[in-house]
């Protein structure tokens, strides 16, 4: 069995991205983080994976979106 791959799509300005990052750290998960405001390729990938979602944070596990937002809250990104 392969280890789970976690990817966090968020923004540096979103408090909910920070909350999810801290939770992943606390859980001991290794993850790759993408700032979708600064990285257009990451933003396009997040939108494609999530079916058009523009709310961050987005947590992807093994290539599938498992969570959008943090505890019912999130930040909407521009185009």
CATH superfamily of this structure's domain 6-76: Glutaredoxin (3.40.30.10)
Q: What is the pLDDT of residue 4?
A: 83
**Mind listing the pLDDT tens digit for each residue in 29-48?**
999 999 999 999 999 999 99
For the chain, what are the domain ranges? 6-76
- pTM of the entire structure? 0.92
- Distance from C-alpha of 78 to C-alpha of 62, rounded to nearest angstrom: 26
**HEC-encoded secondary structure of 35-79:** ECCCCHHHHHHHHHHCCCCCEECEEEECCEEEEECECCECEECCC
Low-confidence ranges of the chain (pLDDT < 50): none
Q: What is the pLDDT of residue 67?
A: 95
Q: What is the pLDDT of residue 76?
A: 94
């Amino acid at each position: 069995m392969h280890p789970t791959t976690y990817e966090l799509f968020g923004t540096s300005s979103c408090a909910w991205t920070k909350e999810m990052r801290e939770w992943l750290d606390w859980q001991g998960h290794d993850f790759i983080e993408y700032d979708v405001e600064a990285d257009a390729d990451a933003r396009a990938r997040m939108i494609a994976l999530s079916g058009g979602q523009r709310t961050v944070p987005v947590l992807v596990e093994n290539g599938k979106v498992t969570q959008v937002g943090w505890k019912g809250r999130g930040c909407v990104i521009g185009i």
